[in-house]
Amino acid sequence: MNTSAPRPGPVRRILGGLWYGLTFTRQLVFNLLFLALVLLLLAALLRGPALAPLQPQSALVLELDGRLVEQFTRSPIDRLLAQASGDEAGAELQLRDLLRALDAAAKDPKIERVVLKTDGFSASGFAALRELGAALDAVRAADKDVIAWGVGFDQVGYYLAARADEVFMDPEGLVLIEGIGRYRPYYRELLADKLGIDVHLFRVGEFKSAAEPFVLDGSSPEAREADLHWMGDLWQRYLAEVSAARGFAEGELAALIDAFPQRLQAVEGDFARLALESRLIDATKTSEQLETLLAERGAADEEQGFRQVNLQRFLAHAGAAPAPTQAQPGIGIVVAQGVITDGKQPPGTVGGDSTSALLRQAREDASIGAVVLRVDSPGGGVYPSEQIRREVVKLQEAGKPVVVSMGNVAASGGYWISMNADAILADPSTITGSIGIFGLFMSGPRALEKIGVRTDGVGTTPLAGAFDPTRPLVPEVGTLIQAFVDHGYRQFVGKIAEARETEVAAIDAVARGRVWSGAQAKTHGLVDALGGLGDAVARARELAELDAGAAIAYVEAPLSPFQQILADMNRSAHLQGLAPMLAPAFLLLGETRSQQVVDDLAFLKDSQGRPFREVAHCFCGL
């Protein structure tokens, strides 16, 4: 029997050949255009003039226009295209780059002052801000001026500006300090009443409020109590540090903020006048007046008004930090930033497989003698968190100390991956704790009934088909999920108790999903010491008995040759001249920002293909 397919007719063969030819031609044209673009970029980079030498009496101008991150979340090509097109949406600034620039500025005799501009700057927490503030203090301690200028200062930008010797603002600008708040949408009515979707929450810990927005119409009393406790600690620290920097008496700044609407009304809505009268700023100056002042204090420049260097050019002058060598073991820094999810994830995020691979790379690298795990994560999946924790333990078993440096947030799963470190350091304003587990299961038979659909059938056991979301939740499934979540919580607190060398009851008393500030966590024994990344590096050096000059390097996934070229272009000082040439090609490119509602509802469906999952996650960002 002949089972071969019939041969297509001549018309089909001709049409198929034409289609193949068109497809090949289209791919060839696009590939050639892409190659031409790459060659254009390379040529422009190679044609660019050599890096101009740094001149005496220069000012380092830090235009903090972007979101402060531990690690870039955008790929090199995305950052390059954004720069070329002038797209500022989604711009990012690495904390490490700013700290390195400020440290170099404090030591470089050619840098007379630092000019800080915070318009467009944002940060997701106060821990990283405090590190930047300390770096600015170090510049001033080196007898260098720090000048801040802005059109508008929110409380994030003003925290840094307050550390300056002088704060100037545009005459039409404003300073607005609001306080710390955390408000979020609640979806119970939408999901249950409007759509007919029942969200079943299983949790351990009355303070584990991460999933409450899906089952309640507002915050539970426990969530309000816990949130106000840690937020109050952060806010009092903010007030104290800004007051000390600006010379306010105790309580003066808090009173100003509380009466701000009335005081603004008294000056007829003139923000600049109120800022001056309240000593929040030293003077009002336009950008042109600021430029004239800096030229008078430093050195005039025909092209730029005053002699200056920006962040990228100054980092190019400062050069890269030396990498560890096998002859001289150093310290490797692994960044765990973002929600913890399964599998391999790109840089700037945390993946169970990918972040574990970085820790494994550090373990197998003979040039690394100790590891600092920099955690800035609200947690996520339990299993990927456990994957990462196991790699921390393997590093220790290999004789390499691990020190955790907690950034803005290291809560829930972020604490899970930290618990076994030889030492845990947190900033006093770090958000941590939230030691708890929850599980979610959604069922939608009522939603289907709204459109006339019902589910029915039979099964050989009570569990057969019980995880079908078109059926109501059966009691056996509820019992099963709650038992699973209870087990996960016991594992969580048990592992912490073992790692922290204390009793399970002692950990349970400060766990149960409750969130703490870093200072509060230190009091409760969840962290060992208060400090920033530099303090964690010093502790790792001490534990590994490394020399004071031991090099420090970030352990990151290696870039492909093409990605490395793009990354170099991102750092290139010649890119600014190249941008106008490329801008027309990228006018339509841009980055869309997901709204919180979309993110929250997407969280519901992210079950990694399982009927339910246990989660160690904290929605505790500011």
Bridge partners, 451 (sequence order): none
- Which alpha helices (H) appear in 319-381, and where do they start and end? 352-364
> Are 187 and 600 within 8 A, CB to CB?
yes
CB-based contacts of 319-328 (< 8 A; 24+ apart in sequence): 321/100, 321/551, 321/552, 321/553, 322/551, 323/367, 323/551, 323/553, 324/367, 324/368, 324/369, 324/550, 324/551, 324/552, 324/553, 325/367, 325/551, 326/366, 326/367, 328/367, 328/547, 328/549, 328/550, 328/551
**Cα–Cα nearest to 409, from 259, 331, 494, 517:** 517
Distances (CA, A) of 82 to 29, 92, 588: 24, 11, 11
Which backbone phi and psi does 107 adopt, to 5 degrees? -100, -15
Q: Which amino acid is at 439?
A: G
Residues ≥6 apart with Cβ < 8 Å to 183 = none
Give all strands (DSSP E) within 414-542, no chain letters. 423-426, 431-433, 437-443, 515-517, 529-530
**Cα–Cα nearest to 260, from 246, 275, 245:** 275
Six-digit token string for 235: 């806010």
Give Cα 242 distance to the centre of its chain: 24
C-alpha angle 116-92-429 in degrees, rounded to nearest 5: 70
Residue tagged active-site, from 58, 124, 278, 412? 412
Helices (H) and strands (E) in the chain, counts: 23, 25
Distance CA 596, CA 464 (A): 36
Residue tagged active-site, from 144, 208, 285, 400? 208
> Are 414 and 375 within 8 A, CB to CB?
yes
Q: Is 220 a catalytic residue?
A: no
Q: Is 208 a catalytic residue?
A: yes
> Are 115 and 102 within 8 A, CB to CB?
no
> Are 526 and 317 within 8 A, CB to CB?
no
3-class secondary-structure state, position 481: helix
Six-digit token string for 334: 């692994």
Positive or negative, the CA dihedral 309, 311, 313, 318 is positive
Distance CA 574, CA 524 (A): 51
Q: Residue 246: count other Cβ atoms within 10 Å of its Cβ.
A: 20
Q: Which residues are catalytic?
A: 208, 412
